[in-house]
Chain A
Amino acid sequence: MFYRESGQFKSSYAADSAIFTIAQDRVFIAALLALSFVAVPGLASDYLLSGILIPFLILSLAALGLNILTGYAGQLSLGSAAFMAVGAFATYNFMVRLPGMPLLLALLLGGLCAALVGVAFGLPSLRIKGFYLAVATLAAQFFIEWVFTKFGWFSNYSSSGVISAPAMQIFGYPIDTPASKYLLTLSIVAFMALAAKNMARASIGRAWMAVRDMDVAAEVIGIPMLRTKLLAFAISSFYCGVAGALYAFVLLGTVDAQAFDLHRSFQILFMIIIGGVGSILGSFLGAAFIVLLPICLNLIGQVFHGAISTQFLANLEMMLFGGLIIFFLIVEPHGLARLWQITKEKLRVWPFPH
């Protein structure tokens, strides 16, 4: 009864195709944004910011990128971490080699480099689909990791292949405290999430979903396959690239190519499977789940101090992930986002039966 749209009439097509058509949703999201932009940076501890919220936001952005490609355009990819690496290394090189380059511009250029690489590795998608495409993107994963380890130029000939973030500042404000890093990440992620939602509800999003659901029919209705698929690869890789750069600079500070290995790609894929394939909200839910699960397990481990070994906990985490992936693939292929949607539908009448 609290979450219902009765009495809310729409009198224009613009209102009908708005992102949040129901007033309760608008209030909720406004409150959430106010909380995360104003209250959290002031109140949260450094551990909460750097240990949980920043990794959650950055991984959400990567999941969003993969969701555009896999969830919306239906092209299975196992190369997300490789595109993150391209973004990180490209941004690093722009900043180191062009002194005075503004941070945001370097991030943008880094993302564009990732987009170009994404398009190159997306070319096989015009001929192959499904598992075969996944294997082709797997090639990107191994190839790019190898390139960054093998050729010293990319890491500015640092002895161990590690890149370290130069001092960051935006319009003269230094980005060095956890709160400032959090705000930078949050602003970028919020803006890019809005852009992703906008694309999803506009003609490019419909073209992606059309290609995903029935590619022959999509082409017959006039959707050019080449352009649509490559645009999905480009935009998805751009998102991953920016996420990778933030991961390297804002979260870790120093990073080598091994931080973007196949394991990371799988982690991002699990996020969208658990969170919801083809859903913007799902990318965030999945990232939250995967970031929080190990932390929760640790807390449980502390309760049973001594009774459970840390090794067992680490294995338990893997087992839980595996079990959950199977659970979601069988029971709810649309993930947490769909569960949330069902909850909302139930909430319309709750606590009354009708």
Chain B
Amino acid sequence: MTQHRKIGDVILQAEAISLSFGGVKALSNISLEVREHEILSIIGPNGAGKSSMLNVINGVYHPQQGHVVYRGKARDRMHPHEAARQGIARTFQNIALFKGMSVLDNIMTGRNLKMRANFIQQALYWGRAQREENTQRAYVEKIIDFLEIQHIRKTPVGRLPYGLQKRVELARALAAEPTMLLLDEPMAGMNVEEKQDMCRFVLDVNDEFGTTIVLIEHDMGVVMDISDRIIVLDYGKKIGDGTPDEIRVNPDVIAAYLGGSH
């Protein structure tokens, strides 16, 4: 086990979430809890509804039934930028960086929420606007140091290799100082070394900033190693919820992964 901060109370509750697109049921009647400071993994075969679940949590999708309670407040039909305001940040399965911008500018967008200068101050680059640029830049440099990407600061993200792009995306999410971080397949398509680096960063983020992390991952070795708790989805239903050791021996999970009668 990692020796990160003590796992606290439930900060997010999803209650009886159902989501469908036309006739396709993506999620049916899923309830789950996320506790403060924990690393929670969501696993399941392709099309199980893992990414849909993350999209429900940060407001990209609005479920037809059920609701999400975040830090004691129930919310319906919220916009993703409101979720960001409440401290939920995320990365995407397919890298969603701003391709035309440098690494530094990409990470700086993560600080946009902290900036208060209006556009006239920004147009004059005067007073508050200039002060903010410099103080926020200082914070962004801390993130850049933390994720060891100093050498590519000024590089346009489009020119970076895949592994580094994933790391920049994590940096952008971290720049928002989230209380809860949603990672959608942060290690997909990486080689062993890159995966090790990414695991180290995920654990460090959890440890140093106390950030609650919900991640989707297919690499079972990684999932079993770094998770405090695992939730298993299959065909939009929750079939398992527990510690890595409990999940390893759960008969439903074994059936879903190895095949068996549904």
Q: Could you tell me which A residues sit within 8 Å of B by CB distance?
A: 12-14, 16-17, 195-196, 198-199, 201-207, 209-210, 212-214, 216-225, 231, 235, 278
A206 adjacent to B123 (CB under 8 Å): no
A221 adjacent to B84 (CB under 8 Å): yes
Interface of B is mostly: helix
B99 adjacent to A213 (CB under 8 Å): yes
> Which of these binds chain A: B14-22, B105-113, B194-202?
B105-113
Closest to B89 in A: A221
Complex Cα–Cα for A203 and B115 (A): 7
Closest to A277 in B: B100
Partner pick for B58 among A201, A213, A220, CB 8 A cutoff: A220
A222 adjacent to B130 (CB under 8 Å): no
Interface of A is mostly: helix
Query: How many residues from B make CB contacts under 8 Å with A?
Result: 42
Q: A203-B122, A206-B109, A224-B81 are in contact. Are A217 and B133 (CB under 8 A)?
A: no
Q: How far is the CB of A278 from chain B (nearest CB, A)?
A: 7
**Chain B hits for A210, CB < 8 A:** 98, 101, 109
B170-212 CB contacts (< 8 Å) to partner A: 172-173, 176
Partner pick for A214 among B84, B97, B117, B123, CB 8 A cutoff: B97
Q: Is B90 an interface residue (CB 8 A)?
A: yes
**Chain B hits for A205, CB < 8 A:** 122
B105 adjacent to A206 (CB under 8 Å): yes
Complex Cα–Cα for A223 and B81 (A): 6
Q: Give the top 5 A-B pairs by smallest Cβ distance, nearest first.
A: A222-B84, A217-B96, A213-B98, A195-B123, A202-B122
A221 adjacent to B125 (CB under 8 Å): no
For this complex, 16 residue pairs linking A to B, each with C-beta atoms less than 8 Å apart, are A198-B123, A202-B125, A206-B108, A206-B112, A209-B101, A216-B60, A216-B92, A217-B98, A219-B79, A219-B80, A220-B60, A221-B110, A221-B112, A221-B172, A223-B109, A278-B100
Q: Could you tell me which B residues sit within 8 Å of A by CB distance?
A: 58, 60, 79-81, 83-85, 89-90, 92, 96-101, 105, 108-113, 115, 117, 119, 122-125, 129-130, 132-134, 137-138, 141, 172-173, 176
B122 adjacent to A218 (CB under 8 Å): no
Complex Cα–Cα for A224 and B58 (A): 14
B112 adjacent to A203 (CB under 8 Å): yes
Q: How far is the CB of A243 from chain B (nearest CB, A)?
A: 17
Complex Cα–Cα for A284 and B93 (A): 40
**Chain A hits for B81, CB < 8 A:** 219-220, 222-225
Q: How far is the CB of A87 from chain B (nearest CB, A)?
A: 18
**Chain A hits for B133, CB < 8 A:** 13-14, 17, 202-203
**Chain A hits for B119, CB < 8 A:** 199, 204, 231, 235
Complex Cα–Cα for A216 and B109 (A): 13
